[in-house]
Amino acid sequence: MRFLYYILFFLSLGLFSCKTQTAEKTEMFKVWGNCEKCKATIESSIAVDGVTQKKWDAESTLMTVKFDTTKITLDGIQQLIAKSGYDNDGYYGDDYAYGKLQDCCQYERKPFELK
């Protein structure tokens, strides 16, 4: 009988000591742009389910994003930003969308290989 209690004790320890895996991830990558209007466009382009935090810094041109990996990928986030006209570490911005950006937001574009 005592042996059965030991088995139950160790099984309960195993059940309650399991850590839950989080699907949340934080990444940083470069997104080219110039100003606060760029910031608004870039951040709003990834206002989608799964992105929990987003912050683009105009001075460093670095994007910090926190997201749920079960709902969206880093690749998907970078594609959304590129669709809004902004080049980033993963994708070259959509030319049509770039052409529609305000003058202050049209940064100097470089060939993707030089980024």
Condensed to tens digits (0 to 9), the pLDDT of residues 26-66 reads 999 999 999 999 999 999 999 999 999 999 999 999 999 99
What is the band of 111 on the pLDDT scale with cuts at 50, 70, 90? confident
| pTM, two decimal places | 0.78
CA–CA gap between residue 19 and residue 26 (Å, rounded)? 19
Which domains does the chain carry? 23-109 (3.30.70.100)
Ramachandran bin of 61, using left for φ above 0, alpha for ψ from -120 to 50, beta for the remaining angles: left
62-68 sheet: strands from edge to edge:
24-30, 62-68, 51-57
Is the per-residue pLDDT at 115 higher than 60?
Answer: no
Q: Where are the beta strands (DSSP E) in 6-114?
A: 24-30, 51-57, 62-68
